[in-house]
Amino acid sequence: MRRIVLTILLLSSQWAHADLKKAMAEQNLEKRSGLALENAEAALKQARAAYDQGDNNEVAKDAAEVLDSVNLAASSLEQSGKNPRRSIWFKKAEISTRDLSRRIQDFQDEMSYVDRPLLDKLKVRVQEVHDELLMGVMEGRKKQ
């Protein structure tokens, strides 16, 4: 019985582990951005769990994973060449980055004052990407 429980726990922990490779393998750029943002959410959850265990090195790695994921999502949408006003993927990414930004802020507020700088760079970049996406959705693509 214990073996079964341990096996299930090991499989579920491997399954839930954030992995940006899956997103990078996606050929459709819009879907890639969605997968990258899902990965960012998973990595942020891992960062919170690592912080609860007192592992700041793991928090820094997971924060870097979130940053890489957000950058991949933003670049994928930009490379798609589609008009942000006419693509649902841009709005989904805008909503995801808004939620991610709020979760990062909440996480940082719960952290010790000494540990908060771990997330400063991440928080700024996620907000920049969100603002770019929001402006794209609201204004559309500039005419050449």
C-alpha–C-alpha distance, residues 45 and 64, integer Å: 13
Phi, psi of 140 (to 5 degrees): 85, -175
C-alpha–C-alpha distance, residues 134 and 29, integer Å: 19
**Token digits of residue 79:** 């490379």
pLDDT above 60: residue 1: no
Q: Please, which residues have CB within 8 angstroms of residue 70's CB and are 6 or more apart in sequence?
A: 36, 37, 40, 97, 100, 125, 126, 129
pLDDT above 60: residue 115: yes
Q: Could you count the other beta carbons within 10 Å of the beta carbon of residue 94? A: 22
Rounded to two decimals, the pTM is 0.82
Domain range annotation of the chain: 2-139
pLDDT level of residue 107 (50, 70, 90 thresholds)? very high
C-alpha–C-alpha distance, residues 64 and 71, integer Å: 10
pLDDT above 80: residue 111: yes
